[in-house]
Amino acid sequence: MVYFEKKPYLNYLVVVILGILYTASFAPYNFKLSIYFSLTLFFYILFHSDKTRSIYLSYLFGLSVFSFGTSWIFNSLYDYGGENLIASLLVTIFLISFMSIFFIPLGMVVNKDIDIKKKFNFLMPASILVLMEIIRSNIFGGFPWLLIGTSQIGTIFNEFYPLFGTYFVSFLVILISFLITIIMIKKNTIKYFFILFFIFLSTSIVNFVEYDWSTDRKIKNNITIIQPNVNQRLKFNNNEIKAIKNKYVEIFKKDSLHDTILLPETAIPTIYENDKSFYKKHLLPYANHIIGGVFRYNNVTNETFNSILVLNGEEQFYDKRHLVPFGEYIPFKNLFIRIIEIFNIPMSNLSHGKQHQPRISFDDIFIEPLICYESAYPELIQTTDTEFSIIVNISNDAWFGNSLAPYQHLQISQSRALEFQRYLIRSANTGISAVINKKGKIVDSIPLNHEGTLNASIISSKGKTPYRYFGDYPVLMLIFSIMFFYFFTSNKYG
C-alpha cells in the first residue's frame, strides 16, 4: 500500500511526510484526523520493516515531527539570544535530535517480527508511545509539547480529559490507529473490528452521560484582559521602560475596562520592589484588582522570582515553580557555561518558587496560577471541593515570534480547562490572549501580534474532577500492567 519494498529509500521520504501530517493535527491547523492517518500509515510501514530499519524509521519520524512542529526553538534562540546563527542552529538540532530519541522504542517493538496474535501485543504501541510522552514531559526539566492527546481538543474524546487526562486520550488515539493498521493488513480482522467497536461504543456512552464534575458559582465576575503587544526586542531594553509604562497608563485610562484587570507575564520588566509606586499611583486608581506578572526580589534570600501579583488593598504573590530550562534557569550550569555566554538571554538566573505557597485570590475567587510554560503541567493545579476558583495563565509568547508556538501554547491551556473543568483566562504579551470555558472551548480571544483588550464575564467553579483526584496514576498503572503481561508472556513462550 504505502510500503516500497523494491525502493526502500522511498519509505524514508514517506515517513518524513507522515511526520508533517502528525503536526498538522495540532493548532493552528487543527486537522484532527491527520494524526490518525499519520500513525496508521507509519505503523503499516513499520509492520513491513525489520527491527533495525524500524528503529531508524522511528527516529526519522521523530525528527520530522519535531523539526516541523517545534522549529520555533530556533526563532527564540536566534532572534533573542544574540543572533548567533551557527550556535542557534546547533542547539536547535541538538534539542530536536534528543527529543526524537523517544520514538526509537516504538521501532524496537513494532516491526515485521511482532506477533499480534499474542495477548496484549496490540496494546504495546500505545503503551510505549504514551510512556515516552510522560518521560519526555519530565526528564531534564521536561518538554510536554506535541502530546498526541492535546491534538484532540474539541473532539468526541472531550469527556475523557476530566476523567483520565491528556495522556489517556493519547493512548486511545494510538490504539485506534494501530487497530486500523492491523485491519489493513488483514490479520484477525473480526477480533479487532470488535475492539474498535467497543472503544467507540464506550466513547458514545461517556459523551451521552456528559457528567458535570464541578459546581458553578451563581455570580459572574467581570474582568478585562490586556494584550499590550510589546515587541520582545523592546521589552528588555532599559531605554524603553518608560514607553512601556506609558502604554499601560493609556490603556488603563480607557472607560471600557472592568474593575478587575489581567496583565501578561512580566508586564513591566523591572523588579517590582523598585517600581511599587508606579503600580499604586498610576494603575491602581483605575482598577479594584490588578492581576499580572512581575519580577519579585527577595532581599533576604537574594533570589529573584517570576511571579504573579494580585494587587488591591494588599499584595499577594505566586512564584513560578516550573521554570523554563535555559530560558529562566540554567541546568547543569558548569556544563553549559559556554552556551550561557553565547546566548545572552535576559533574566535567565531566576529561582524556583516553593512547591507549597499561600493561595492567592480576588473577590472571593481563588486563582489557580500558571505562568507561561507551567500551563503544560497539570499537577500544578490544586482545585478543591470547597473553593470557587478559575485558572489564570499569563505568558510572554513574544519569545516565539510569528510561529506555531503561540497557537500550540493556547491549545495546551485548553486541555487544562477541560481536565479540571474550570474557566481559564489568559493574558499573553503579543498573544494569544483568550477566555476558555470549562469545556475547553475558546469563548473569545485577541489575535496574535495585535494590541487589544478583552472584556469578559467569567464563571468560577468548585469541585474536583476524577483527574484532579487521581492524576496520571491510572494511565501509568494501565501502561505498566500491559508491559508486565507483555514481557511475562514473551518470556513464557520464548
Quick: pLDDT tens for 278-308. Answer: 999 999 999 999 999 999 999 889 999 999 9
Lateral strand order in the sheet of 221-227: 315-319, 303-311, 289-298, 260-262, 221-227, 452-458
pLDDT band at 177 (very low <50, low <70, confident <90, very high): very high
Which three cell numbers mark 310?
494580585
Determine the average pLDDT of the residues in 350-367.
Answer: 91
Residue with cell 515553580: 321
Determine the average pLDDT of the residues in 448-470.
Answer: 95
| Whether residue 120 has pLDDT greater than 90 | no
Nearest to 57 by CA among 121, 117, 95, 4: 4
pLDDT at 77: 75
- Of the listed ranges 46-55, 234-243, 362-371, 397-406, the least confidently predicted one is 234-243
- Of the listed ranges 81-90, 98-107, 408-417, the least confidently predicted one is 81-90
Nearest to 315 by CA among 338, 289, 333, 334: 289
Q: Are 258 and 222 in contact (CB under 8 A)?
A: yes
Determine the average pLDDT of the residues in 195-208.
Answer: 91
Determine the average pLDDT of the residues in 50-61.
Answer: 94
- Of the listed ranges 24-38, 50-64, 142-156, 199-213, the least confidently predicted one is 199-213
pLDDT at 492: 54
Residue-wise pLDDT tens digits, 139-149 = 888 889 999 99
- Of the listed ranges 23-32, 96-105, 157-166, 208-217, the least confidently predicted one is 208-217
pLDDT band at 324 (very low <50, low <70, confident <90, very high): confident
pLDDT band at 322 (very low <50, low <70, confident <90, very high): confident
pLDDT band at 405 (very low <50, low <70, confident <90, very high): very high
Determine the average pLDDT of the residues in 184-188.
Answer: 77
* C-alpha distance from residue 52 to each of 7, 10, 57, 149, 225 (Å): 17, 17, 9, 28, 53
pLDDT at 208: 87
Which three cell numbers mark 51?
527491527
pLDDT band at 76 (very low <50, low <70, confident <90, very high): confident
Give the rounded percent of residues in the chain with a pLDDT score beyond 70. 91
Rounded CA gap, 377 and 139, in Å? 13
pLDDT at 343: 57
Looking at this protein, which amino acid is placed at residue 56? Y
pLDDT band at 378 (very low <50, low <70, confident <90, very high): very high
Of residues 423 and 211, more confidently modeled: 423
pLDDT at 31: 96
How many Cβ atoms sit within 10 Å of the Cβ of residue 53?
18
pLDDT at 85: 78
Nearest to 45 by CA among 125, 138, 107: 107
pLDDT at 485: 83
Q: Are 366 and 153 in contact (CB under 8 A)?
A: no
Q: In terms of C-beta density within 10 A (0-12 exposed, 13-18 middle, 19 or more buried), how is residue 347 classed?
A: middle
Q: Are 181 and 195 in contact (CB under 8 A)?
A: no
Rounded CA gap, 453 and 265, in Å? 15
Residues 6+ apart with CB under 8 A from 242: none
